[in-house]
Structure 1
Amino acid sequence: MIIETEFGNFELIKNYRDAFDLVKFTERYVDVAFDRYTFLVGDMASDILRIKGFSQDPKGVNGYKKIPDYINESCNHNCPFYVLKRIKDKETKV
């Protein structure tokens, strides 16, 4: 599913327990912090959204291959979460 936001377009890769809420995402998104990341993980704890960015480089410090580790180690057990992938402008043009 493609999500269109004021910060760009994203593909919703995973939406565990219907975690994605566009209003909460828009309120918490900080362009200076998250524009550089290809992947974003949002998780809910006590009805508060946390967003963490991951890069396209699989071997980087915040590479996308570390997303499962982040979910298992830093998120509350069985909490709602989602994974978004940024879509570049040239990918959306048809």
Structure 2
Amino acid sequence: MITIGHMNFELVEDYREAFNEEEFTEKYSELLNKYDYIVGDIGYGKLRLAGFYRLGKKKIEPDKRVDAIEEYLNEYCNFGCAYFILRKMTKAELKENTEVIEEDA
């Protein structure tokens, strides 16, 4: 689990070991808090972040939904670039994780 401020994320995919927590933390902006998924791609040695919403959210443009991530990577990122995908954890998932940790202790 990756935590930034009050936001918690799960690393869903880490293609070519792109994820670097320190670099992500430096680049992260509160503007990304509204998204359910964050995609980070590395081109020319620079990290770029983009946000996407979960399926089922109303009034969201199709190119900003999670099912558009693959198209985003193919269309807007350098071919074969390293990238990662983070998913924002829900309050229920956080509570469940906390309960599991407490049971293991």
TM-score, normalised on structure 1?
A: 0.89
Per-residue CA deviation, residues 34-90 of structure 1 (Å, 9 max, x unaligned), is: 000000000001111000000113583111110000001111011100000000233
Identity %: 35
Counterparts of 1:2-41 in structure 2 under 5 Å? 2-31=1-30, 33-41=31-39
Residues of 1 paired with 2:16 and 2:56: CA distance? Answer: 26
Counterparts of 1:6-85 in structure 2 under 5 Å? 6-31=5-30, 33-57=31-55, 60-61=60-61, 62-85=64-87
Residues of 2 paired with 1:89 and 1:71: CA distance? Answer: 29
1:6 maps to a residue whose letter is: G
Q: Of the two, which has the highest radius of gyration?
A: 2
Task: Quote the offset at 1:5 in angstroms.
Answer: 2.9
Gaps of 5+ in 1: none
Greater share of residues in helix: 2
Task: Quote the offset at 1:3 in angstroms.
Answer: 2.1
Q: 1:81 to 1:58 in 2, by over 3 A?
A: farther
Q: Which moved more, 1:59-68 or 1:45-54?
A: 59-68
Alignment root-mean-square deviation, CA? 1.5
TM-score, normalised on structure 2?
A: 0.80
Greater share of residues in strand: 1
2:81 maps to a residue whose letter is: C
Residues of 1 paired with 2:6 and 2:81: CA distance? Answer: 25
Q: When the two structures are aligned, how many residues end up with a matched partner?
A: 92
Partner of 2:89: 87
Q: In structure 2, the residue corresponding to 1:85 is in which secondary structure?
A: strand
Gaps of 5+ in 2: 100-105
